[in-house]
Structure 1
Amino acid sequence: MKLADIIETFISGDWGEEKVAEDTPNSVFCIRGADIVPITNHCFNGIPQRFVCDKTIENKTLKAGDLIIEKSGGSPTQSTGRIIYVSEDMIKAKGNVVCSNFCTAFRVKAGWNPLYVYYFWQNVYNHGAFFNFEGKTSGIKNLQLDNALSAIDIEYLPLEKQNRIVASLASIDEKIKVNRQINDNLEAMAKQLYDYWFVQFDFPNEEEKPYKSSGGAMVWNEKLKREIPKGLDAQKIGDIEKNIITGKTPSCADEDNFGGDIPFVTIDDIRGNLFVFGAQRTLSTKGADSQEKKYLPIGSLSVSCIGTIGVMGFVAKLAQTNQQINSIVFEHEYNKEFLYFALRVYFENAKAKTGNVFANMSKEEFASIIVTYPPKQILQAFHNKIAPIFDSIKNNIEEINVLTKQRDELLPLLMNGQTSVNYHLSAY
């Protein structure tokens, strides 16, 4: 059979409007190509809210089990054709969901497990099949979807066998999902302590009692336009940690600059990952050495400052980033967790006040962000409590990476019939 033979219906995309209006009264969340990696990582927070007409709600709202294809705008090193499975979890988290007009969605016919089709499609994508069906319009890649669907074969398997294959792969994905949920809870615990110490200002005083609740002195700070505990200061990020590096892209005209072992981190690589071990794109030693001042040592905090602002993660391997990211290279370990949460609160507050954060933020503007800065002994105490939590998160991410590699190696073997599932697994 061809892929075209197993599709029941297509659901076209709709970009929607950013603000509610009389003819677009319905709130939806609009999935773009930029959301593919976060959604694959079970992270739905970045999907933008849009407003659409009644007809779109009626005809284009997606259901659990639908599949979304990126048909336009693939990155230079990626084919179009990336796929998302619309899960029950996503629908529960976001409610009404549509895909953007750079994507299209489809629903499979009866007799096909949509998760099986998702894994099959992912395997085809991993092998680069969609490069053969790409065209360009005004420099943007476009997937000739009708041609691809009519050309790519899919072997019919009884639904029972599809379910067994899905169960094998989905069990790995479920463990990955659990690890991410554990990490979300761990980070929430750490954030709660940060808020208690540095938002409510109930860090331990000299008697190990909560400072503000125990009557600690508060003084007006003109820079912050608020009261803060006596002994704390208002300082710029660039004064707290002076080594801030703005990323850069080596010359794309020289293909030898890319494809090595050095992660070239972009915003998509950071989303949903407190620790970034790898990237979709890589640099060769030649490419990275051509801008040797852009190397980031392990533990640097990378922060997106162009386009989508305030996406943050620590690099867990020697890396470089593109120009959309500013990174803090820490001189003092005790600043790491504090500055991560201080910046997170800063960007959250900015978004709450304006409805979005910023379009762009230069290195100078980033370095000029002012935060309430406590004495070293308080920072060190906070670091001692939070560092073990962050280590647990890091270990879970390492396990996720191992599981992902195992799943991706198992995927073609199951799809090509080179191995089979011969033990009990509940059907999905």
Structure 2
Amino acid sequence: MECRWVEIGSLISHSCSGGWGREGQGEGYDVQVAVLRSADFPAIAVGGRPPLSIRYEKASKVSRAALMPGDIVLEISGGTEGRPTGRTILIEKDFLDSYSIPVIPASFCRLLRCEGINCTYLYYWLQDMYAKGRTWNYQNRSTGLSNFQFGLFRGEEQVRLVDSASQGRIASFLHCVDSKIKLNSRINDHLLEYAKTIFEKWLYGAQGDLVSVSEVADFNPDTYSPREQWPIVQYLDTGSITRGAIEGYQIIAPQSEKLPSRARRKISSGDIIYSSVRPIQEHYGLILNPDENVLVSTGFTVVRNTEQLVCPELLYLFLTQDSVTKKLQQIAEQSVSTYPSIKADDLAALELPLPSAIEAAWLQPFLENIFAIMDSNRQMCMQLAKLRDALLPKLISGEIDVSRIDLTQLNGHLSADSNVF
């Protein structure tokens, strides 16, 4: 398979920074838009439809920044101590069709529109670049934030350009795996909505005594000590989970790498983790069947149920109601911390009806079964993601001969995906 190396800047036909506009209409900010942030990338990557911020922008900005199918959005500011900036997301038609107004990138992102290359292939090239840590080469820090040096990246990053047929096969194979992940994720979205409906029906008619969350749960029950000397740690920070969807764990070997100072909270199956910063960003999840070597950030409050009548699934649905999120955000905005934040005591003070033994007898098995199916689907998604991540560098580098790949064998009911750009 013949190839040549080209400067990535030569493949970008249009690029512009995102915007944030204004909350209200007026003074030239007259076009209503949905704004895509990098925090939304993980949910979109698995088929989610996150509630984007609705703002007003100038028509001139919208004409330049409105997203189209095949566009790539690049994160240019953000990152954490262990995660560089430079994440990307591919914009697809079905995503844009789910919003009735133009979608633009947020101000910490940048639109990339390409030519002379299969855009899906370029997206997976950028995914491979990020996975290999090369985006560290293009960032610097200012005012505490990591910023992506787009000009340097545009002039120095080289793309391995193969013939268009090979680009299409590589893109189709990887996109087909991602499509299976999205399908499972959408099934989970429907299952969660079903569980919420049953929960809300119970909650509306519940007549049990009100109890505080502190009466039915413990908070931050287990702490890791470096003296335990785990050989490998899977670490989850607050930005890596949104509405139960985990973007990924940092794999750390403490004997040779520095363990983040916030990697201290142990978790068990059935634990709920809830980020203490900006509840409105919905960095929370119910953890089922985790590996033994998982630690989460001290930026989370870990909630572990202790009352037999309140199963973890019911407690999770209670804590993640929109009304509860809004209430916690109001509390956070009154805090004196650097960022709007809540304390474990704020979660502990919330009140919910205590189910009767009869209610628990039918409600718990139902919710447990729903969440067990969802967890099984997530496990399948994780295996598919491992397959994709293992094959991605081999396909991009040419180590695997794409002419021998039979896309129809990937899934008996999902044939080769032609919806690539």
TM-score (norm 2): 0.83
Matched with 2:237 is: 266
SS at match of 1:26: strand
Partners of 1:235 and 1:373 within 8 A in 2 = yes
SS at match of 1:328: strand
Q: 1:169 to 1:239 in 2, by over 3 A?
A: same
Counterpart CA distance in 2 for 1:126 and 1:308 is 29
The percent of aligned pairs where both chains have the same amino acid is 22
* Amino acid paired to 1:93: S
How do 1:25-424 and structure 2 match up within 5 A?
A: 25-94=30-99, 95-109=101-115, 111-199=116-204, 201=205, 229=207, 232-241=208-217, 243-245=218-220, 261-273=232-244, 279-280=249-250, 284=254, 294-309=265-280, 310-316=282-288, 317=290, 318=292, 319-332=294-307, 334-345=310-321, 347-348=322-323, 351=326, 359-421=340-402, 422=404, 423=406
SS at match of 1:361: coil
* Amino acid paired to 1:327: V
Report 1 or 2 for greater relative contact order, CA contacts < 8 Å, sequence distance ≥ 6: 2
Q: 1:414 to 1:340 in 2, by over 3 A?
A: same
* Amino acid paired to 1:315: I
SS at match of 1:63: coil
Partners of 1:8 and 1:108 within 8 A in 2 = yes
Q: 1:140 to 1:303 in 2, by over 3 A?
A: closer
* Deviation of 1:118 (Å): 0.1
Deviations 1:152-205 (A, max 9, x none): 222332222211111111110010001001111111221221122222x2xxxx
Deviations 1:335-354 (A, max 9, x none): 21221122223x33663999
Higher Rg of the two aligned structures: 1
Which blocks of at least 5 consecutive residues in structure 2 are unaligned?
1-5, 334-339, 408-415
Counterpart CA distance in 2 for 1:323 and 1:342 is 22
Counterpart CA distance in 2 for 1:185 and 1:353 is 26
* Amino acid paired to 2:249: A
Matched with 2:410 is: none
Partners of 1:338 and 1:379 within 8 A in 2 = no
Aligned Cα RMSD in Å? Answer: 3.3
Partners of 1:247 and 1:324 within 8 A in 2 = no
Q: 1:152 to 1:293 in 2, by over 3 A?
A: closer
Q: 1:80 to 1:12 in 2, by over 3 A?
A: same
Counterpart CA distance in 2 for 1:361 and 1:355 is 9
Q: 1:81 to 1:290 in 2, by over 3 A?
A: closer
Partners of 1:307 and 1:324 within 8 A in 2 = no
Counterpart CA distance in 2 for 1:172 and 1:187 is 23
Counterpart CA distance in 2 for 1:259 and 1:5 is 47
Counterpart CA distance in 1 for 2:196 and 2:103 is 29
Partners of 1:246 and 1:326 within 8 A in 2 = no
Counterpart CA distance in 2 for 1:184 and 1:83 is 23
Counterpart CA distance in 1 for 2:284 and 2:347 is 13
Q: 1:240 to 1:331 in 2, by over 3 A?
A: closer
* Amino acid paired to 2:391: L
Partners of 2:213 and 2:351 within 8 A in 1 = yes
Which blocks of at least 5 consecutive residues in structure 1 are unaligned?
202-227
Q: 1:290 to 1:331 in 2, by over 3 A?
A: farther
Counterpart CA distance in 2 for 1:420 and 1:239 is 60
Matched with 2:23 is: 18
Matched with 2:337 is: none
SS at match of 1:154: strand
Q: 1:96 to 1:37 in 2, by over 3 A?
A: same
